């Protein structure tokens, strides 16, 4: 018996069910057939053309991404658009594409929690809980907040984040000597949750994709902001998601290969 796309779907529905996604989001099988056999899986943050080419070269017939390729229904699928070219190339090469996004962010033990663990924080509270959850889904929601085990300066904390997330640079706002005691983390793009984090007592927020006026205002209010990048606050967690998938597949008796993408990278460069 061979591993099939529907087995991956079952694993993810058990771990991070689609009902935990945000209303604007689109998750699950983006392109492909639930009954297709899966030989090798390529794990990436985004389905870029480089990732598709990598899957072809490495013989992976399933790409598992965090970010969905399809947020909205396309009006057409042609080679005139980047999206169309990706979809056509996936279908032409019989490669399925599966995405687990805000449901994987929100779920207990998902990307929010993984990043908190990497930064050495536990006993977290949820910034925006998902209502109506029960059983294994309790403790799910967007963002996490926790008190540090010991007081640390903003400068020291920035160094800790760079090491934990394996990033060379980050942006921050606030005095280097500011004492940090309570930290909020919203992986990816999280400035919409700054006010909620402030109300919960955060004196520092870690996220990505911040904009000037948001950061300026919250810095004036005494909240330190650390922008470790959208990629930087998610890719380290995806390596652990890959390990989780590998174990689940092996426990089911399959031996399909899990490969971490070498072309999934931050689109930003710094000089």
pLDDT tens, position by position, for the chain (271 residues)? 799 999 999 999 999 999 999 999 999 999 999 999 999 999 999 999 999 999 999 999 999 999 999 988 889 999 999 999 999 999 999 999 999 999 999 999 999 999 999 999 988 999 999 988 877 788 899 999 999 999 999 999 999 999 999 999 999 999 999 999 999 999 999 999 999 999 999 999 999 999 999 999 999 999 999 999 999 999 999 999 999 999 999 999 999 999 999 999 999 998 8
Sign of CA dihedral 233, 242, 117, 157: negative
What pLDDT is recorded for position 132?
84
Checking phi first, is residue 166 left (phi over 0); if not, alpha (psi -120 to 50) or beta? Answer: left
Tens of pLDDT, residue by residue over 108-155, are 999 999 999 999 998 899 999 998 887 778 889 999 999 999 999 999
Cβ atoms within 10 A of the Cβ of 63, count?
A: 27
What pLDDT is recorded for position 125?
96
For residue 28, the cross-strand partners are: 99
**117-154 per-residue burial string, b: 16 or more CB within 10 A, e: under 16:** bbbebeebebbeebeebeeebebbbbbbbbbbeeebbb
Cβ atoms within 10 A of the Cβ of 87, count?
A: 22
- Cα–Cα distance between 183 and 40 in angstroms, integer? 38
Parallel, antiparallel or unpaired: strands 257-260 and 40-44: parallel
What pLDDT is recorded for position 137?
84
Cβ neighbourhood burial of 116 (10 Å; 0-12, 13-18, 19+): buried
What pLDDT is recorded for position 1?
74
What pLDDT is recorded for position 73?
85
219 touches 191 (CB < 8 A): no
Structural domains of the chain sorted by starting position, each given as residue range(s) with its CATH number in brackets: 5-102+235-260 (3.40.1390.30), 107-227 (3.40.1390.30)
What pLDDT is recorded for position 65?
98
């Amino acid at each position: 018996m061979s591993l099939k796309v529907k087995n991956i779907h079952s694993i993810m529905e058990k771990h991070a069910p689609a009902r935990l996604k945000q209303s604007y989001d689109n998750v699950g099988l983006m392109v492909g057939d639930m009954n297709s056999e899966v030989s090798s899986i390529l794990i990436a943050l985004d389905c870029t053309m480089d990732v598709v080419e990598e899957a072809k070269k490495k013989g992976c017939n399933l790409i598992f991404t965090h970010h969905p390729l399809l947020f909205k229904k396309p009006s057409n699928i042609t080679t005139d658009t980047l999206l169309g070219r990706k979809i056509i190339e996936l279908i032409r090469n019989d490669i399925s594409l599966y995405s687990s996004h805000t449901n994987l962010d929100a779920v207990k033990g998902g990307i929010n929690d993984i990043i908190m663990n990497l930064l050495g924080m536990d006993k977290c509270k949820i910034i925006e809980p998902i209502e109506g959850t029960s059983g294994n889904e309790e403790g799910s929601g967007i963002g996490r907040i926790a008190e540090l085990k010991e007081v640390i300066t903003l400068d020291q904390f920035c160094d800790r984040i760079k090491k934990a997330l394996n990033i060379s640079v980050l942006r921050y706002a606030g005095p280097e000597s500011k004492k940090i005691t309570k930290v909020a983390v919203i992986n990816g793009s999280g400035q919409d949750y700054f006010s909620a984090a402030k109300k919960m007592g955060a004196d520092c927020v870690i996220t990505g994709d911040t904009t000037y006026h948001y950061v300026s205002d919250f810095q004036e209010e005494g909240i330190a902001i650390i922008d470790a990048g959208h990629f930087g606050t998610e890719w380290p967690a995806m390596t652990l998601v890959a390990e989780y998938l590998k174990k689940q597949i092996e426990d089911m008796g399959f031996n399909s290969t899990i490969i971490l993408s070498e072309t999934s990278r931050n689109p930003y460069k710094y000089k």
